[in-house]
Structure formats: C-alpha cells, structure tokens
Amino acid sequence: MLTFFIGILILVLGYFFYGRFVERVFAPDDREVPAIKNPDGVDRLVLPHWKNMLIQLLNIAGIGPVIGVILGIKFGPIVFLALPIGNVLGGALHDYFSGMISMRNNGKNVPALAEKFLGNVPSKIVMLFIAIALLFVGAVFTNTPASLLNMPVVVGDLSSKTFFWAMVGVIFLYYFISTFFPIDKVIGKIYPIFGGMLIFASVAIFIALLPKFFLLEEINLLNMASEFHKHPEGQPIIPMLFVTIACGIISGFHSTQSPIVARTEKTERTGRQTFYGMMILEGLIGMIWAAGGMFIYQQNPALLSGVSGVGVLNELVSTVIPLKFVSWMVIIGVVVLAITSGDTSLRSLRLTISELFRFDQSKAKNRLLLTLPIFALCFVLILWSNLNPNGFNILWNYFSWSNQVMAVCSLCVTTVYLISKKKNFWIALFPTYFMTFIVLAYILWVSPENLKGAPVGFGLPYFVALALAAVFALVLILALVKRGKNLSRDKSFSADE
C-alpha cells in the first residue's frame, strides 16, 4: 500500500512542480493560436477549455492505462514507481511539447514537424511508422471494445461471434462519423457524456479497491535485484515493461492526438493543464487499474498465465464489484477509453496525410476521399486478426512496438526544437535517449525464440542487444544535437511559424 501511495504522490507533485518547470522552459505567451489565426471550421476552431481537457484525456487514455497496466503489473510493485516517474519525466513532457510545438506551427502533426526539424528523409520514415501505427490503433481499439461488449449468447441464429461483428460494425460506423465530420459536431458534443462514463468507471473501481489496498505487495528495498525478476514468464523489465505499459508511462500515440486539441485551444497559457495535466491524470487512472490487477492476481494466481488482459479485466470487475449493473457500467467506461482513442487515431491519420500532400480538408469531398481508403485498410486488419488464431496477439505486439517508435519520433522533434531555440534541451534529451534505447533493445532482442508469442526481431543475446541499443541510441542523440545546433545558426530558420 505504501509503494502505491508514494507513486500517487509522485504524480501529483510532478504536475505542480516539474510540470511548471517544463512550462517555463517552453514559455507560452499571448500570440495567436491556430484556431484564431487560421480557423477552417472543421479542425481549427475554438472549443471551451474544459472541453479541450476532456477531449485530450479521452483521446490519449485508450486501453493502455487499463489493459496495459493489468498486464504490466505482472512485473511486480516496481510498476508503482516506474509508472509515475516515467509519466512525470517522460510521458507528460512528451505530450506537452507535442501539443505546444504543434500549436506554434499552425497545428501541424508530427510528420510535418519532422520534415521541418529533422529533414526530408527522416520525415518520410516518421510518416511511414505513424501511418502504420495509427492503423494498428484503429484496429486494436475496435477489436478490444467489441470483445468487451461481446457476450456468450445464442438467440436464434445470433451467435456470440455474430454479436461481436455487430459490435465491430457499430463502433466502425461511429469512427467514420467522428473522423469525417467537423470536430465540434460529434466529438465536441458526445465527449462530455463519454467523460462522465470514464470518471464513473475510475471512481467505482477505486472505491471498490479501497478495502483491498492493504493487501498490495510492497517493493523490497533491501533486495532490489529480486524486483527485476517478478514476471511469471521471465520477461525482462528492460525493455518489456516500457513496451507493455505504453500509455501509462509514455505513448507515442499521444503525439498524434495532442495536435488535434492544439488546433482548438484559445490560448497557449492553458497548455500545461490540457497536455501535461491530462497525461498525469491518465497516470492516476493507470495506477488504480494496476492496483486492481495486482489484487486479482493475488486472489487468483492462475490468471497470471494463459489469460488475456480482457479476461483478467472481466474477472477483476466481477470480483470487486458484485453488483451487475455497476460492473457493467465500469466495463462500458473501459469501452469508452478504447473508442475515444480509436476514433481520433483515424482522424489524426486523415489529417497527417492531408498535411503532407497539402490536400484541403475543409471540403467534404476531400475528407471522404481520404477517409474511405483509411477505413478499408483498417477493416482488413480487423478481419485478418480475427480469422488468424493468433492474429490479435500479433497485432497487439506490433501496436505496442510501433507506439513507442512514435514516441521516439516525437521526442526527437522536441529535442531539436529546444536546441534550435537555445533552450534547456536536456529535459527532452534524456527521455529521447532512454526511449530510443528501449525501442532498439526490443527490436534487437525480441523474437519468438527469446520470448513466447513475440513478433519477429533480430533475436540477439540479451546483453548484446542492450549494449548495441545503448551505442545506437547515443549515435542518434549526437545527430540530433548537431541538427539542432545547425538550425540555431541558420538565420533563415524559424522554429515557430
């Protein structure tokens, strides 16, 4: 219990102290923001600040802070410290600069910013990774809520599988509507309702867990080495913890969502609350569900292996909340988390492609021309993942990995931006190095031989992979510093439009 509440304290204090420090480094001012300077009535328009915060929270808080931390808590109580520290120093900083740099550049997405700060070739690589990752997000965040809503029923010819595909159809239809129409027409109106469901789910599970907090395992300070070997399948904390708990610690997906809200803010001065603060709140949600995961594994150790995150979630909710109505409301709250990230992932992909090809999105016909092929590709992924027996697990692995690649891309932009502005770039440089090291270590080490059910990687010996990842990450950091200093000396270059 003590380790858990120390983690909560780190998140709260991190927002008020480190978050304010990060804000001072960026130095928001009263210049015109995209919604006022270049409104288009579709994506760039002013929304109330409270609504922007809610949209940002629902956009970024997908199933990662629930399913991800339920799987991640298998690593032990060290998660209660790794999650908040990583969130404050990495994830919240990542989200803040993703939003604020975008706001300073007319609401541009990461690939367009990468073209400006990293160069033409790197931006094409960033675009490729982000496009693939956003399609994965759309597919995963359709599959998971449909599975959560699916029930083992047979009514006439209506099997549970038929019900699943019916749910996929309903969710997909909503995604299309929210991707196609102006942000204030659908997302701006329905998100307050979704927000209420999310708050209800988080508060309900927290209250239900209150009597169980004293059962939570504490971190062993006298034998810290043992804390790195808790996972029942022997997964190493480096890099697996930081890939499994993608959304609670840091998530590249958030860098595709922050520009959506950057286009609807009225002033730069609310950025810390909207971007940094909502990531901290997501961290708090993640801590609650991590505590729930630890409790249910303690009660039923059989869940530690061979059971999906969705299965563990259902067991947790039904165990701690015996009232069927309330438990179903909590499940619906989790579904909301997935749906409100899936819809804006595909919207973000539409905007990213339109920016790179300078394809005007104020016209309905142009939006339709981009929306239809995006949804067709996403549906193919959903279909394949359900026809293949191990399809969803493969999809989830690649989603998790590509998500953290996106984080590296966004942090690279942030690092070069700060160097070019001659500001304190160290606050971004360290997270950039660490996440690059994590991603490279994962790619170099992971393989079906090294980790059961893992995607194909280089499969190198563990410590060889770590050593090479450390060296390659350092090379990237040196290249970023050089790029930033060159831009700072270029009198024709302006980091802010």
DSSP state, residue 303: G
At residue 103, the pLDDT reads: 96
At residue 161, the pLDDT reads: 65
C-alpha torsion sign, points 117, 412, 56, 310: positive
At residue 400, the pLDDT reads: 73
Using the predicted structure, report yes or no on whether residue 73 has a pLDDT greater than 80. Answer: yes
Q: What is the mean pLDDT of residues 81-95?
A: 96
Closest CA to 214 of 303, 298, 323, 315: 298
Q: What is the mean pLDDT of residues 77-94?
A: 95
The band of 155, judged by pLDDT with boundaries at 50, 70 and 90, is: very low
Residue 264 host element (H or E)? none
**CA quadruple 20, 272, 244, 205: dihedral, nearest 10:** 100
The band of 482, judged by pLDDT with boundaries at 50, 70 and 90, is: very high
At residue 382, the pLDDT reads: 80
Percentage of residues of the chain with pLDDT beyond 70: 92
Using the predicted structure, report yes or no on whether residue 386 has a pLDDT greater than 80. Answer: no
At residue 361, the pLDDT reads: 67
Using the predicted structure, report yes or no on whether residue 34 has a pLDDT greater than 80. Answer: yes
- Alpha-carbon distances, residue 313 vs 69, 78, 113, 250, 495 (angstroms): 11, 21, 38, 22, 45
At residue 110, the pLDDT reads: 85
Comparing 264 with 203, which gets the higher pLDDT? 264
Contact 231, 240 (CB under 8 A): yes
Q: Which of 128-142, 282-296, 310-324 has the highest average model confidence (pLDDT)?
A: 282-296
Give the chain's domains with CATH numbers.
Answer: 2-392 (1.20.1740)
Q: What is the mean pLDDT of residues 423-447?
A: 95
Using the predicted structure, report yes or no on whether residue 187 has a pLDDT greater than 80. Answer: no
At residue 220, the pLDDT reads: 81
Q: What is the mean pLDDT of residues 223-246?
A: 84
Percentage of residues of the chain with pLDDT beyond 90: 38
At residue 478, the pLDDT reads: 97
Q: How much is the mean pLDDT over the chain?
A: 85
Q: Can you tell me whether residue 159 is helix, strand or coil?
A: coil
Measured between alpha carbons, how far apart are the two ends of the chain, in Å?
A: 48
At residue 248, the pLDDT reads: 82
| All residues at 6 or more sequence positions from 388 whose CB lies less than 8 Å from its CB, including other chains | 394
Least-confidence region, from 164-173, 342-351, 393-402: 393-402
Contact 450, 462 (CB under 8 A): yes
Q: Which of 76-80, 155-159, 362-366, 376-380 has the highest average model confidence (pLDDT)?
A: 76-80
At residue 153, the pLDDT reads: 43
Using the predicted structure, report yes or no on whether residue 148 has a pLDDT greater than 80. Answer: no
Comparing 424 with 230, which gets the higher pLDDT? 424
Closest CA to 411 of 95, 77, 21: 95
Least-confidence region, from 67-76, 120-129, 233-242, 386-395: 386-395
Using the predicted structure, report yes or no on whether residue 151 has a pLDDT greater than 60. Answer: no
Q: What is the mean pLDDT of residues 411-421?
A: 96
Using the predicted structure, report yes or no on whether residue 441 has a pLDDT greater than 90. Answer: yes
The band of 341, judged by pLDDT with boundaries at 50, 70 and 90, is: confident
